[in-house]
Chain A
Amino acid sequence: MAQLISEQEVAHVARLARLALSAEELELYTTQLASVLGHAGDIEALDIADVAPTAHPFPLSNVFREDELRPCLDRQEVLAQAPLVESDRFRIPRILSEAQ
């Protein structure tokens, strides 16, 4: 794996993460991310193909809740937090592309 990340890749990642970067930011972040990824080179070099990954520190399983109703939030309290509301819904600018 390459130790450096290109400006194109940083731009792609910023787009995926919905972050707009100026040209200077793009350059700065590319340098900084490359430096962190360079440090991560030590684990890239490890040969641990047969080691199982750990997603949770402790292997808990089967934690459930019963299918029982709990109180909902008050709609006015919820909507009062929103930047823009119309007809008891969250109002957003138009959507140009579909989700999936």
Chain B
Amino acid sequence: MSSPAGASPTGQGPVPAASLSGSCAMSASDIAAGVRSGELSALGVLEEHLSQVERWEPEVHAFNLVTADAARARAREVDAMVAKGKDPGPLAGVPVALKDLLCTRGVPTTCSSRILAGWRPPYDATVVKKVAEAGAVAVGKANMDEFAMGSSTEHSATGPTRNPHDLKRVPGGSSGGSAAAVAAGFSALALGSDTGGSIRQPAALCGVVGVKPTYGLVSRYGLVAFASSLDQIGPFGRSVADAALALDVISGHDELDSTSLPGDPPRAASRLGRGVEGLRVGVIAELAGAEGISPDVAAALDGAAQSLAASGAKVEEISVPSVRFGLSAYYMIAPAEASSNLARYDGVRYGFRSPGQDITEMYMATRSVGFGAEVKRRIMLGTYALSAGYYDAYYGKAQKVRTLIIRDFDSAYSSFDVLLAPTSPTVAFELGAKTADPLAMYLSDVCTIPSNLAGHPAMSVPFGKGECGLPIGVQVLAPALGEPVMFQVAEALEAAAPLGTGDPHGEEAK
């Protein structure tokens, strides 16, 4: 595959970074199968991915840190296991990108914030352990909006990540580095976190699959918290099956997370290959017709609904009235929890410190210099929402809206197996387009937030291309622990997607 040399962040034209070849174009399951059988070497696979990184990372900036040496050592271990006849696991030799808010023992974990500069966690997140135990090879720490606050990965202390499909555009956020890494062939899989859409929205904008699992399905231990009651870790993949494979590796009860669901997790891949005949699919009227949904996105959603109907599903429009209030509730609850979760960055125990004559001066200097503007904005918003005199009007009320949204979803799921909605109101927007207007940026999350408030699973699947040939994602929502049926429907959408959807080579929309 030839790519025009010298493509730069300001470059025009086709989308070189998303042109994949060799193992960089392979699915995770094919890589794992090849490595387990000895047909592929984990080190060989890794080197191809590292070459892709070397070539395109300066343009894309998907990573805060590429851990090439550790990855090579790990890949050799995997190959050694295979040579000894041991099975390295279901992700054998699969290169994985880790969002830079997943704690990695001894490896800097910055959350794209100055305030965590130089911090090396003394422990691994549960999911980091799980993917390693499954044979995966971590290639690096993916860029993100600082502390996962943002929808464009522009709010990063290390600079923005660029969309591999168009380097002038954002990859979405906050897990923009993870989404871009998968789209650019830097890794076959990535892990991100989704508090209000931070996996699904960048997945949609980068043309990959992104999953926010049921709250409590995946352990949050070692995930640096943004909003604890909403945060959930999930996978990115270039196919629905890959995302299911990754989710099945990371899900399951963890005694280190009190909110982790007990019992055996549902297997995401368990209903793949079954088609959608007879399934009941509801299109959420309030989100399909929400203000700001662009015509190309609306058309793609229509196309997705029609394709499911053509495959034998019963598709109808359904009203979930309270989702209209999701955005407002979210922008009270998430900042409130964040204001508390981010208090610990005070310059005493780890990370950045700016000097002060007394402790309060030191706190204020450290936090004012250490945090970026968006983080400060949300900390203040959340502090305000919790403060005396405003709790009932803002935080208290938002929690009640949460109850309403859960009720409305429960009611919808009494008649439907899954629901459909847009993922992002628009395709990827240009860098800088929304940075001056926080509210406009927040509106990017309008379709993804309700699932976080309800704790339900939802995923974004690429479905066609829109304006400027950029990818569009369609969102499949399911009830709590409804991952199997959600993936079943997502697989049907993947199969029915218009020509070119799965081909990230930069061809114009059909």
Do A and B share a direct contact in the complex (Cβ within 8 angstroms)? yes
For chain B, the count of residues having a C-beta within 8 Å of the partner chain is: 72
B340 to chain A, nearest CB (A): 10
Interface residues of B in 383-419 (CB under 8 A from A): 383-384, 387, 390, 393-394, 396-404, 406
Interface residues of B in 359-382 (CB under 8 A from A): 359-365, 367-368, 371, 376-377, 379-381
Q: Decide if A83 touches B215 in the complex (CB within 8 Å).
A: no
Instruction: Specify which chain B residues have a CB less than 8 angstroms from the CB of A32 in the assembled complex.
Output: 377, 438-439
Q: Which residue of A lies closest to B395 (CB)?
A: A53
A-B interface pairs (CB < 8 A), number? 172
The answer to the question of A16 belonging to the interface, with a C-beta cut-off of 8 Å to chain B, is yes
Q: Would you call the interface of chain B mostly helix, strand, loop, or mixed?
A: helix
Instruction: Specify which chain B residues have a CB less than 8 angstroms from the CB of A48 in the assembled complex.
Output: 397, 400-401, 404
The answer to the question of B327 belonging to the interface, with a C-beta cut-off of 8 Å to chain A, is yes
Instruction: Specify which chain B residues have a CB less than 8 angstroms from the CB of A54 in the assembled complex.
Output: 399-400, 402-403, 406
Q: Decide if A82 touches B358 in the complex (CB within 8 Å).
A: no
Q: Which residue of B lies closest to A96 (CB)?
A: B358
Instruction: Specify which chain A residues have a CB less than 8 angstroms from the CB of B401 in the assembled complex.
Output: 43, 46, 48
- Bound complex: CA of A26 vs CA of B123, how far in Å? 38
Known: A40-B331, A43-B401. 5 other contacts (CB 8 A): A10-B380, A43-B325, A74-B122, A90-B348, A90-B349
Chain B interfacial positions (CB closer than 8 Å to A): 119-120, 122-123, 215-216, 229, 255, 258-259, 261-262, 324-325, 327-329, 331-332, 339, 343, 346-353, 355-365, 367-368, 371, 376-377, 379-381, 383-384, 387, 390, 393-394, 396-404, 406, 438-439, 442, 453-456, 480
A and B contact pairs by CB, cutoff 8 A, 27 listed: A9-B384, A14-B380, A17-B339, A18-B360, A19-B364, A32-B377, A33-B377, A36-B331, A36-B381, A36-B438, A37-B381, A39-B439, A39-B442, A40-B332, A42-B328, A44-B393, A51-B400, A57-B454, A57-B455, A60-B216, A60-B262, A81-B120, A81-B351, A90-B348, A90-B349, A93-B355, A94-B358
